[in-house]
Copies of this chain bind each other. A is one copy, B any other.
Amino acid sequence: MGLKDEIFEQPAVLQNWLDTQLVQTQMIAQAIRQRHIDYVFLAARGTSDHAGVYAQYLWGSLNGLPVAFAAPSLFTRYSGWPRLERALVVGISQSGQSPDIVSVIDEGRRQGALTLAITNAVDSPLADAAEFALDVSAGPEKAVAATKSYTAQLLALAALGAAISDEEDKLAALWRVPHAVNEALKLDQAIAQVAAEYKAMDRCVVLGRGFNYATAHEWALKLKELAYVFADPYSAADFQHGPIAIVEPGFNMLAVAPHGAVLADIKSLLHRLREELQANLLVLSDDDEALALGNASFHLPPDVPEWLTPLVAIVPAQLFCYHLTQAKGYDTEAPRSIRKVTLTK
């Protein structure tokens, strides 16, 4: 089992999650609906933090719940403890081992808040600490770079949001995700060819906005940790507030641009990047105009509701990173300098 196997396992992992975890998720949603929750207080690091960014947009738009990120050092290094009684306190961690994430759940519980662990390890300090635990159920993840545990985290978060909102059509839409992910995997050969052309890329910016701001972050992290590309994620809005100054002709810009409420904004930025600044664009989209703006582009499967596009759009991004790492001659299974479990405090 290597990284590529884990990427290709995702349709089965997601289908299995739906088959086995929805009942528990609806039970947790029921407990959340019965409390006066004002906001979510969320702790996570690395890839799990990007799942948290997805939760910020998802729960904000589906459930009217603002998400405050925990800034773990506030808990572990400073004396101040935010008031958490009316918060839903959430910790996300693949391994469930990180002491700083566990400490946030511990404090939430001490203050009487509703606490929830989302982890791929049900026998872990994080799952033990929380009142409720959502099992990501992705199976053992051997590769240092997280892939299937990330999409399974997103599915668990999406399902919880749909269950809290209690809308039948949203819950039904979840069941179409494994098929769409399978369709995205069929891009594999086309992606391998494009990735080979990007072999010399040593830096880039990854754009996303709204739900896919999370995808931009996760794509950039994968580019850093696997292919050692200096990749910087930006919201299409924030990028215009200063960072756009770094763009020179030929500068590599990667864009996550599926259909939806923010597509027009991203397309207008892509037009400027292409025509005025002569950037080199790689576009992930299901929109013909956005695809045509790319010097290279990957056609995302159509008919995925916007709020679920991050579960599908990350798949070609993972494949691109895998093939780029191979093209550069680096090790896809054991990136230098990092470990699977990092015990920051």
Question: Interface of A with B (CB < 8 Å)?
Answer: 38-39, 41, 45-47, 49, 56-57, 60-74, 77-84, 86-87, 100, 145, 203, 209-210, 213, 221, 224-226, 228-230, 232, 235, 237-238, 240-248, 261-262, 265, 277, 335-338, 342, 344-345
Contacts and interface: CB of A to CB of B under 8 A. Distances in A.
A228 B246 contact: yes
Contacts of A277: 337
Contacts of A61: 74, 78-80
B344 A241 contact: yes
Contact of A245 (B210, B224, B344): B224
Contact of A241 (B68, B81, B342): B342
A217 to B, nearest CB: 11
Count chain B CB atoms within 10 A of each CB in A70, A244, A277 and give the residue with the most.
A244
24 contacts: A39-B39, A47-B242, A57-B73, A60-B71, A60-B74, A60-B80, A61-B78, A61-B80, A64-B82, A64-B83, A66-B82, A66-B84, A69-B69, A71-B213, A73-B210, A73-B235, A77-B262, A86-B86, A226-B245, A237-B344, A240-B342, A241-B338, A241-B344, A244-B338
A86 B67 CA distance: 14
